[in-house]
């Protein structure tokens, strides 16, 4: 056996910020060197950030990524870090590019490189390209066909990229055939509720398949709708969990591994191997240090406990919101605070994300607002210490009514749009990012006003059903005084007044209005939305699953009709596997009605 101390750099890059990401790479490599690591690994596409979408098709961007890689390799050496091998993801392209109809221009690659001694030792690229859910990689990448195996301290280390772990055949299969002692996977794997359990099982399965230990380093941070949760880990060849990083925070996960020594008879060079997926992959062997170092004392391996369900969801919302604000250059947010549960939770998430002093609430009472709306909102403002102002909208409503005869829904929408006009105006005047408070239940059923309550730059709770909004509000109140959760602001009392949690939901756009006059009870509606939207279940399957037939028909009709509004909704952190936005694609013009519905 040979000893190897690896450092997994679970770091937060920004898409397009090549210089900033290179700075992070140098900084975290220095930390790894100070920790005595023999190898430090950064996530997939770390130098460019992930996902780059169509930037991959722009020649200037690909070239800048290539130059950034060479530059950071030289800089590591210049700063005395050249002896510590670094594995990082970056954007590359094929040297010889075939121009073919429908193939991504310039043949871009989702690439990985080993940096060593101021140079690039070996390059490879992702073999299995995901093209489902949030992933569109067939649009922008071509497939890699090489497995690097680098001898380090006498251990053969193979590197693969993210989806290569999720598909059968390909690089993992070749890793087994190549007899590697460690499989290092670099990832940009977005958070999904409960995905951490799936990841550990997957890593364990692939470690057994490859017949060696597996080190998994994942990105952390928010990028538009995606939230990368970290959760980096190391498992042994038998699938045992050896080390695990925390979620939603940057971390240098250090693990001391005892690994099988490589066969000294196997020399550097290239060997094609059947990848058992209909392709051939070339094993590309290099050697950095053929023999093991002298024995040294191992450090204890940190094994973080995954967060419980609600803490995990809340952590994702806070990180997604903070990074959207920060990475887009905003320093403060503004939101309409109605006295209802949705805007109350959004304000709380914002205060946790960027601090109460940077949160600005506007209270916008109308003639239909209840007394409690303003007093409850003011109580929240006081408890959290956020900024607030009151802008009554009565005069503006009357000015429109002087020119237009609107009633019913048109009149209700008018009020919602006047409110949006106020917060957008204050945003334009003062430079705040507007947060909008719609939840997934409203968004799914179209129970919101286009250009009204749905207006804004970021929608922190767009992927939470209403029942989840209530559960998270209660969870957050219960999490006061929890220094173990670093993504929470240290409020001294419950940040959300109980009155806001227990009141009956109402849009307050007409006298006595209640959500349940227009929608089913949320405890019945929400599971149906989950089954219809996330699971693509049809009418008969929904009824067979126990949902009320009349309700199924009503909700299917609402959800199908609301498609247009959802297309215009701001981005927000994804929590579930199939959400609105990039990963649910249904035509706006569409006459399809589920069988049995009218």
DSSP character for 453?
T
Smallest distance from a copy of itself to CB 421, Å: 5
Whether 132 has a binding-site annotation, put simply, is: yes
Instruction: For CA atoms 519, 521, 526, 529, give the dihedral sign.
Output: negative
Whether 413 has a binding-site annotation, put simply, is: yes
Residue closest to 182 by CA, chosen among 267, 121, 242, 128: 242
Structure tokens of 404?
A: 């237009």
484 half-sphere exposure, CB direction, 13 A CA radius = 9
Q: Which residue has the tokens 């349940």?
A: 516
Q: Which is nearer to a copy of itself, 55 or 84 (CB)?
A: 55
Smallest distance from a copy of itself to CB 4, Å: 30
Q: Which is nearer to a copy of itself, 5 or 539 (CB)?
A: 539
CA distance 511 to 348: 28
440 half-sphere exposure, CB direction, 13 A CA radius = 27
Whether 337 has a binding-site annotation, put simply, is: yes
Whether 442 has a binding-site annotation, put simply, is: yes
Whether 332 has a binding-site annotation, put simply, is: no
Structure tokens of 84?
A: 């510590």
Catalytic residue among 162, 312, 412, 594: 162
CA distance 209 to 205: 6
Smallest distance from a copy of itself to CB 101, Å: 5
Structure tokens of 38?
A: 């023999």
Spatial CB neighbours of 101, under 8 Å, sequence gap ≥ 6: none
Residue closest to 534 by CA, chosen among 468, 456, 475: 468
Residues linked to residue 227 through DSSP beta bridges, in sequence order: 222
Smallest distance from a copy of itself to CB 235, Å: 19
Smallest distance from a copy of itself to CB 116, Å: 27
Whether 309 has a binding-site annotation, put simply, is: no
Helical spans, DSSP H, in 86-225: 137-140, 163-166, 171-178, 195-210
Whether 462 has a binding-site annotation, put simply, is: no
Instruction: For CA atoms 77, 83, 84, 88, give the dihedral sign.
Output: positive
For residue 196, the tally of other CB atoms under 10 A from its CB is 19
Whether 339 has a binding-site annotation, put simply, is: yes
Smallest distance from a copy of itself to CB 87, Å: 23
Q: Map residue 164 onto helix, strand or coil.
A: helix
Whether 186 has a binding-site annotation, put simply, is: no
Q: Which is nearer to a copy of itself, 517 or 540 (CB)?
A: 540
Spatial CB neighbours of 6, under 8 Å, sequence gap ≥ 6: 37, 38, 39, 40, 41, 182, 184, 215, 234, 254, 255, 257
Whether 440 has a binding-site annotation, put simply, is: no
Is 44 a known active-site residue?
Answer: yes
Residue closest to 153 by CA, chosen among 253, 252, 295, 265: 295
Spatial CB neighbours of 562, under 8 Å, sequence gap ≥ 6: 443, 444, 445, 446
Q: Which is nearer to a copy of itself, 246 or 570 (CB)?
A: 570
Smallest distance from a copy of itself to CB 457, Å: 7
CA distance 301 to 244: 8
Q: Which is nearer to a copy of itself, 181 or 336 (CB)?
A: 336
Catalytic residue among 126, 440, 462, 466: 126
Q: Which is nearer to a copy of itself, 474 or 584 (CB)?
A: 584
Q: Which is nearer to a copy of itself, 167 or 271 (CB)?
A: 167
Catalytic residue among 44, 192, 379, 508: 44
Phi, psi of 422 (to 5 degrees): -65, -50
Residue closest to 28 by CA, chosen among 74, 76, 64: 76
Is the preceding peptide bond at 440 cis, omega within 30 degrees of 0? no
Q: Which is nearer to a copy of itself, 243 or 418 (CB)?
A: 418
Crossing angle of helices 309-327 and 341-354, in 10° steps, is 70
Whether 225 has a binding-site annotation, put simply, is: no
Is 126 a known active-site residue?
Answer: yes
Q: Report angle CA 110, 111, 113 to the nearest 5 degrees.
A: 165
Smallest distance from a copy of itself to CB 288, Å: 32
Which residues are known catalytic residues?
44, 126, 162
Known binding site for ATP: residues? 336-343
Known binding site for L-glutamine: residues? 132, 189, 195
Known binding site for deamido-NAD(+): residues? 413, 442, 565
Known binding site: residues? 132, 189, 195, 336-343, 413, 442, 565
């Amino acid at each position: 056996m040979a000893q190897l101390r690896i450092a997994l750099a679970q770091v937060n890059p920004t898409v397009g910020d090549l210089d900033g990401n290179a700075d992070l790479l140098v900084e975290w490599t220095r930390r790894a060197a100070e920790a005595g690591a023999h190898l430090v690994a950064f996530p997939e596409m770390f130098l460019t950030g992930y996902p780059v979408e169509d930037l991959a098709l722009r020649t200037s961007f690909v070239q800048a990524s290539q130059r950034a890689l060479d530059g950071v390799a030289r800089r590591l050496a210049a700063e005395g870090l050249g002896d510590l091998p670094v594995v990082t993801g970056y954007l590359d392209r094929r040297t010889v590019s075939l121009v073919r109809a429908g193939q991504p221009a310039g043949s871009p690659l989702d690439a990985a490189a080993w940096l060593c001694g101021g140079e690039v030792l070996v390059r490879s690229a992702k073999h299995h390209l995901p093209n489902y859910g949030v992933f569109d990689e067939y649009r922008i990448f071509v497939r890699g066909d090489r497995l690097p195996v680098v001898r380090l301290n006498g251990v053969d280390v193979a590197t693969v990229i993210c989806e290569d772990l999720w598909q059968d055949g390909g690089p993992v299969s070749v890793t087994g055939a190549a007899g590697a002692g460690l499989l290092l996977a670099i990832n940009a794997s977005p958070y999904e509720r409960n995905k951490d359990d799936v990841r550990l099982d997957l890593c364990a399965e692939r470690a057994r398949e490859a017949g060696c230990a597996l080190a998994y380093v994942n990105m952390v941070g928010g990028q538009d709708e995606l939230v990368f949760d970290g959760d980096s880990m190391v498992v042994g060849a038998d699938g045992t969990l050896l080390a695990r990083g925390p979620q939603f925070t940057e971390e240098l996960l250090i693990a001391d591994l005892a690994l099988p020594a490589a066969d000294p008879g196997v020399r550097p060079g290239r060997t094609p191997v059947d990848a058992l997926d209909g392709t051939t992959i070339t094993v590309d062997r290099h050697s950095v240090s053929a023999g093991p170092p002298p024995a040294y004392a191992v450090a204890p391996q940190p094994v973080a406990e995954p967060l419980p369900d609600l803490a995990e969801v809340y952590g994702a919302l806070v990180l997604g919101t903070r990074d959207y604000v920060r990475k887009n250059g905003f320093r403060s947010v503004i939101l309409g605070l109605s006295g209802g549960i949705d805007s109350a939770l959004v304000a709380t998430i914002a205060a946790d994300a960027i601090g109460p002093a940077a949160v600005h609430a506007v209270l916008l009472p109308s003639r239909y607002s209840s007394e409690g709306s303003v007093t409850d909102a003011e109580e929240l403002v006081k408890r959290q210490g956020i900024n607030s102002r009151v802008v009554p909208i009565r005069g503006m409503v009357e000015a429109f009514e002087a020119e237009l005869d609107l009633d019913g829904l048109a009149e209700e929408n008018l009020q919602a749009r006047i409110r949006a006009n106020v917060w957008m105006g204050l945003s334009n005047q003062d430079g705040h990012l507007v947060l909008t408070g719609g939840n997934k239940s409203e968004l799914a059923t179209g129970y919101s006003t286009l250009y009204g309550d749905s207006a804004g730059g970021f929608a922190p709770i767009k992927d939470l059903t209403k029942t989840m909004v209530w559960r998270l509000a209660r969870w957050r109140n219960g999490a006061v005084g929890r220094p173990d959760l670093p993504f929470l602001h240290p409020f001294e009392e419950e940040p959300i007044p109980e009155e806001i949690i227990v009141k009956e939901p109402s849009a307050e756009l007409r006298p006595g209005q209640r959500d349940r006059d227009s929608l089913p009870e949320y405890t019945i509606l929400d599971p149906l939305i989950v089954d219809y939207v996330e699971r693509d279940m049809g009418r008969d399957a929904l009824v067979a699953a126990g949902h009320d037939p009349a309700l199924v028909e009503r909700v299917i009709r609402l959800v199908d009709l609301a498609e247009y509004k959802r297309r215009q909704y701001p981005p927000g952190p994804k929590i579930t596997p199939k959400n609105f936005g990039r990963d649910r694609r249904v035509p706006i013009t569409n006459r399809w009605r589920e069988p049995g519905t009218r």
